[in-house]
Amino acid sequence: MNTIDSITLEVSDLPGAEAFYSRAFDLGDRLRLSRSDAATSGFRGYTLSLIVRQPADARLVLDDAIAAGATVLKPAAKSLWGFGGTVQAPDGAVWNIATPSKKDAVPPSRTIENFVLLLGADDVKASKAFYVERGIRVGKSFGSYVDFEMPEASIGLGLYKRAALAKSAGVDAAGSGSHRIVIGGGLGEVTDPDGFAWAQTA
């Protein structure tokens, strides 16, 4: 029941967003687009992560996104956790392309192994409680970070202190207005403590 089946991004330029995402990531039905002129500015309080197998895969996906029109926020580089980079799509969504691996083992591939939504929380404890009360189990939790235990077929879900999430993405934490994202899953029509809206899916 408590899965995320899709992410809907609300965009001002629907044809442009469709062209960008089909070229950059091609996530099929897991990523949906809807036209919206809802007021929004600055950081929208979330990041979307695509986890790949190795650094060469991350470079390939990042290069495709940049060629399609994304802006580089953090160039691809090794880190304590592996390898990756961050870009911002023309619609404003922030995407992190990463791998826990620091070495290449096979020829490059565009295969996405995991798709993860990381929500910026003003009060991580309160947001964590909101999801736990609705049956989503915690996988890992330490300090200002929570990683929820999601079924294998689901899009992953995590929480991070909003300011820390913005810093990790390479953007200013300031932002206001609509998040311009709807989470499609099994929680029903609910809105979490940070204003992120869920919509019921089959």
At 143 the pLDDT is 87
pLDDT band at 9 (very low <50, low <70, confident <90, very high): very high
Give yes or no for residue 120 having a pLDDT over 70. Answer: yes
**Quick one: what percent of the chain has pLDDT higher than 90?**
93
The closest of 134, 127, 162 to 150, measured between CA atoms, is 134
Entry pTM: 0.96
Give yes or no for residue 135 having a pLDDT over 80. Answer: yes
Strand order through the sheet with 46-51: 71-79, 82-88, 94-99, 46-51, 114-121, 156-161, 145-149, 137-142
The closest of 75, 73, 72 to 55, measured between CA atoms, is 75
For the stretch 73-97, pLDDT in tens is 999 999 888 999 999 999 999 999 9
The closest of 61, 51, 49 to 24, measured between CA atoms, is 61
Straight-line distance from the first to the last Cα atom of the chain, in angstroms, rounded to the nearest whole number: 9
pLDDT band at 202 (very low <50, low <70, confident <90, very high): low
What value does the mean pLDDT take over residues 151-165? 94
Which DSSP string do the residues of 111-171 spell out, in sequence order?
---EEEEEEEESSHHHHHHHHHHTTPEEEEEETTEEEEE--TTSPEEEEEEHHHHHHHHTS
